[in-house]
Copies of this chain bind each other. A is one copy, B any other.
Amino acid sequence: MLTIGKLGRASGVKVPTIRYYEQIGLLPAADRSAGNQRLYTRATQERLAFIRHARDLGFPLEAIRDLLGLSDRPEQSCAEVDAIARTQLLAVEGRITRLLALKTELERMVDHCAGGTIAECRVIEVLGNHAHCSADHGRDLLTVSE
């Protein structure tokens, strides 16, 4: 049985985050020692590794909750799992597309800055004037979970 600190080091997840996952029900309530400290099994360590890897891949916690639920029913069809992964792939592709447009515009801004005074600064000018901007970067760039 591992204490929470060891589990955290083993899995690369911070201790408060593990407690948070328990609180929101992503991890089952841990067994406790005589002194009320959490004790974890290998099974929980694997579950946490799964969560961490999925988070690294950008899956939102709700999607991970679904995936964990599905992985507990191994004889069902994996269509739902596939759909969640494809949704995440689409989200990632969308973010890449928009970020590439931002990169282009930022590069234009930075490249045109001659290093003079702020009055002549292209960066400020471009930011102040939407007409200079060709790309139509969608609003939702800022709201998509990551």
CB proximity of A106 to chain B, nearest CB, Å: 4
CB of A137 within 8 A of CB of B78, answer: no
Given contacts A57-B105, A89-B106, A99-B92, contact A67 B124 (CB under 8 A): yes
Q: Mark A65-104, 1 if CB is under 8 A from B, else 0.
A: 0010011011111110110111011001101100110110
CB proximity of A115 to chain B, nearest CB, Å: 7
CB proximity of A110 to chain B, nearest CB, Å: 5
Q: How many residues of A contact B (CB 8 A)?
A: 61
- Which residues of the other chain, B, contact A84 by a CB distance below 8 angstroms? 123
CB of A118 within 8 A of CB of B55, answer: no
Given contacts A76-B118, A121-B81, contact A58 B102 (CB under 8 A): yes
Name the CB-closest residue of B to A94. Answer: B99
Given contacts A78-B115, A79-B115, A118-B70, contact A110 B137 (CB under 8 A): no
In the A-B complex, the 6 residue pairs with the closest CB atoms: A74-B119, A78-B121, A89-B106, A85-B123, A78-B118, A50-B128
